[in-house]
Amino acid sequence: MSFIAKLIVPLLCLVLASCQAGTTEDVLGGLANQPPAPAQETLGTGPVPVTLLVARNAGDPARRNVAHDVYHGAALALRELGANQLSISVLEASGGPDTVRALAAQAAASGSKLILSAQDGSATSALATISPVPPVIDLTGTRSAGKSVFAFASDEVASALEGVAAAVAAKQTRVVVAVPAGMPADAVERLRKGVRGHGATLTDIVAYPPAPAALAGALAARRTAFEKATTLVVFGEGDAPARVARAVATGGYGGAITTLIGNFSWRQQQFSDPVLDGALIAMIDQQSLKELGARFSAATGRPLSLEAAFAYDAVALAAGLVRARGNDAIVAGAFGPTAWYAGTTGEFRFDAERNVDRALVLYRVQGGQLVPLPGASN
């Protein structure tokens, strides 16, 4: 048995989410051979100062790679859209929270109108302690770290909840969620509230063990939750989503489930598994990313990541505000819940809690590929 999604949902039903881009060994290896990035450099000559905090000299290769992606994404947007509006002061921020706090204070004192930051959670939280501080766009954060900090990335929870919204629209309203054991409690709570907030009935959130041999038994022990559900939402990396879906399908307790919903943690190489055929995944418009990716690769020699795309859109947002409203347009009030903006990562706004709300395209897994549903633009 495979799960065949029966939903045809207009694009207007879609709101929210994002995914995380992977890195490659080639890129990481190439970074290891690069000279250290300067402590400070300036991009562009526009009249409105913006500060970019990145850790291009971080000891962790993955963090360093994200920093380079963010730097190049911001630089490309400045060249294409904001050279006459902005100047970006790029500050090396690989020293941890104290360094980030000091650099943010330096940026505020120098009159920077906006801080763009790509840091881990503790360093980003340090930005919220600066007063006064200009608006901060956290390029890699999914939840606001505090006042004046606007989270610009979305995650697999937001992606899955968009799938739930589509299921509810098709009257598949009884939802069971399978998550890997150890999923952070705040993410589980967001799922719980989000499913119910979309008007669905949550039969349960079932945590499954990482060991494949223990999976079937763990799911079967919670069979009642699956028997009550019409929609199954699955989290997990690698082949875990396929293993979960197969265990439910063959275990005899998923007979009422007609809709399978994925999220950004699913990977392309797993789509060819027949048990995932028909699954729904809400994602950033892949055609839009493809177009930006071609320009990004031509300019940098690097593959586009979502971190680079988010940086591109943040700089484009700042430049657009200045073009439309003048040199004093970048203020926290410009990022209120009623203001929607267009970006390569979809239309977006910031909600009342300063977290991004990004429009997505709903795709169906079909024959190993992502196929946009009728009404979706791609």
- Judged by average pLDDT, the poorest of 9-18, 252-261, 320-329 is 9-18
**266 lies in the same domain as 296:** no
Same domain, 236 and 365: yes
Q: Residues 118-130: what's their mean pLDDT?
A: 84
The confidence score (pLDDT) of residue 376 equals 54
pLDDT bucket at 33, cuts 50 / 70 / 90: low
At residue 208, the pLDDT reads 97
Q: Are residues 258 and 312 in the same domain?
A: no
Do 115 and 219 reside in the same domain of the chain?
no
Whether residue 219 sits in one domain with residue 366: yes
Let me know: does 173 contact 230? Beta carbons within 8 Å. Answer: yes
| Residue 1 resides in a domain | no
pTM metric for this prediction: 0.85
Q: Quick one: pLDDT band at residue 375, thresholds 50, 70, 90?
A: low
Tokens of 253: 């307790």
| 26 band by pLDDT with thresholds 50, 70 and 90 | very low
pLDDT at 228: 97
Number of domains in the chain: 2
Task: Give yes or no: residues 141 and 60 share one domain.
Answer: yes
Lowest mean pLDDT among 25-34, 45-54, 92-101, 265-274: 25-34
pLDDT of residue 239: 94
Is 242 within a domain?
Answer: yes
Assess if residue 6 is contained within a domain.
no
Same domain flag for 167 and 141: no
Domain span including residue 71? 25-154+287-358
Is residue 138 included in any domain, yes or no?
yes
Mean pLDDT, rounded, for 90-111: 93
DSSP annotation string for 175-232 = EEEEEETT--HHHHHHHHHHHHHTT-EEEEEEEE-SSHHHHHHHHHTTHHHHHT-SEE
Q: Give percent above pLDDT 90 in the chain.
A: 79
Same domain (yes/no): 133, 118: yes
Q: Which CATH number is 161's domain given?
A: 3.40.50.2300
pLDDT band at 323 (very low <50, low <70, confident <90, very high): very high
Greater confidence (247 vs 17) lies with: 247
Q: Say whether both 335 and 238 belong to one domain.
A: no
Domain-embedded: residue 163: yes
